[in-house]
Structure 1
């Protein structure tokens, strides 16, 4: 209980504060009536002292000493009854109290101690009982904790109920979720921005919104195979998201119901804090990118392009794009933290596309396989595992950012076309396709390709063309090619013999192998 509460109680007795207003936040632990002036023997931290100054009514120096001792003991404050034995508080005492933020409250002479003491002690007991009650509250740790991020708050809630916790927007798209996640009749995907699997999810959300728009309803209890509370988060009176709090024990049901307002208030504040921090970082990174270009930093640089189909829906929704964009960029920042030797990193958007510029030491030598493995490992265990990533070659001149942006955008497009089953594309592997795509549309090139492989592509046995492709992919190893095609080794030998006859080419000749690989690549692109 704070001194400000005691002042509120005393206001019905015309109590007023005359010094140390800043000390109203001091905590009261006990209340004592001063009968003897030797306060150093009985006063302790948190004591609120009530006195008429009768023992020292004629000694202002002793009055000053009492207040000074109470301040030294870190007492909560002093209530003085004026008009009976003392008519005023000396200026020296008021000055001392102001300097020390020690609250001094005065009450009229006709106020009975017992009346004031009874009310203050009753409030102390009630607050003590509340603290005991809080400590037995399942959500006590959540209430007392200060969270650095919404992800941390969601994990704390999940640990308390030992179950899945997730937050969806008003369209049902997933914004946050706990690491502990189990599929249920409502949701089976943990991908960022994915929608529920329930066929009637839009109707259910509409119904929840109608019920929760009422000031009477603070949450909805949804029974089922997995019981849950749906708790709305509101901004300016409008629902912006729903917390899905799943539970399985009866005591959790009552605890959640009692703590709904606290839970949604704390989660809302944390989301807003996250969003404000994102805006701050976004402005700082924009300035950092401009500064890097101007300074021409002596670094090895890498540009990464990120693309997700689930992100595209927000690009036409100007009102909500930033909110959802910041969640995706948080995941990108988490990924960058996993990459070794990064000195500086700038995450930015351009034309609704997300990029990250990574700066490495001047002598950095990129291990492409290691970098791809790091990124792949992160994606596989994250909620953005469906993200496509295109990686530029290393470049020294930071002013080439726009040029590299065009390069990774092309690599992304080519990678999605020719290797849609893959997620990570690198320039060193796919850069050549930029040239192949251009020449693949040339009539002379198409004519050349047809002349070389039409004998196979137009043959009645279509397995011959597939056999040639797999044989070349396996670097001319007939046994491995047969295993991959699930055919007998003898069948493979017979097919290769037929292919040689139709093409009129030696499949062991390196020049012929190059020509055939070129033709098959061009055919695939067309």
Structure 2
């Protein structure tokens, strides 16, 4: 039975929903609406229709539901003189758009001769369709044919979704993986499917060679191979078709993205509904997988932490146990310690759960990048840092290439919500008994590097120079006392002292060339000479005494490390 606009609304009896509907262009093509034409809002012809409504009263907006096509003769829009009330009609179009209605269909000729230009202009501006339906069409035929088309469509959608859901559920119950889920969806819908992490790292995929080749040369793939899912918040053109990313979530937590690539056709509503069901099944599989990975990850992480902190048993036991985990740690290695940078002052405060999510995604990115190089490479999440033992040549000639390649792959183009991080790299070690020292040095390199260079730094322990030695001094009080003794009042935390220290550092950097130092700091030569005299009054004759100059340089480095 058709619902009129002045009927009460009972949600329990609303058989149509936003999830299952036809594009407006398909609805006005049903038999009863043959001969209809779009008068305005052509760009909205794709708007979803899930129901039809007949306008019988002027105050219809109170009863219009989202995605409904409102049909009228125009009679309720007439004023007391039996003329079309233009302001009321404009308000109706704006109200229907705001309410999310699919469109407005009007029968011209009996009560209303034409739609005013101002109403057409408003509809065009909003992209809200106004459709003229034939004068001889009966509304009961419109409702009958419209709902018949919607019911047929919904039945087809449900049948396809149920068939796909049954197949995917069977895959999950039989222990299948994401590759099989992606392959089944790709086969049923005849499209390319990729399951990625939330920041676009591919976990599984089902793409033809031709489709993957097209994707690799598109704007949607960065140099590290990451899919730029942040560019797919809505459907984007891809060849003659489209590419889009659907969220895979459970309990309000985003788990992954389902990226759909269709090069030859745009997706139909039925495809999208089936994909949403596939995303639900994928979420079920990922949730189960995450539980297993969490247990295995903690076990692996605890073991590697014991190895790197010197709490493990004999080297032979460590090697054998690592092999049982699939790791080869008895070869030349560098230890890489990577830590997420602290949030900036302008960033909003986030909850501990959100921060944990950042770390989980960071660790997952490292695991994926490292495992691509070889599953025998040890990598683990230490809660606040990720540690990887990257294999290198015995002479260490390829350390920079190996490390920088891994760091670049993890960072990518920093899209997809990835967080900046800093990394410290140990010297090359061979033998498990030397791993604790290597880990300590890599950890120290992260700390010193971030203080020296700021966030997003990469620091090699062997390149720290004198800072490498200073970082090994456990007694920080001794270092502070040395700085005070050498620099005197220049060690104070005041703007004046900092200004003179900056001049002193420039002088040391240019080998005490006063003219060059003056140019670097944009001072007059005589001003720089005055500053040199003032510095030597405080520090001693550092310009002629190499021992004083060495002490001053070391003290400045200590201050830089403490900043």
Q: TM-score, normalised by structure 1?
A: 0.46
Give the number of the structure whose alpha-carbon radius of gyration is greater.
Answer: 1
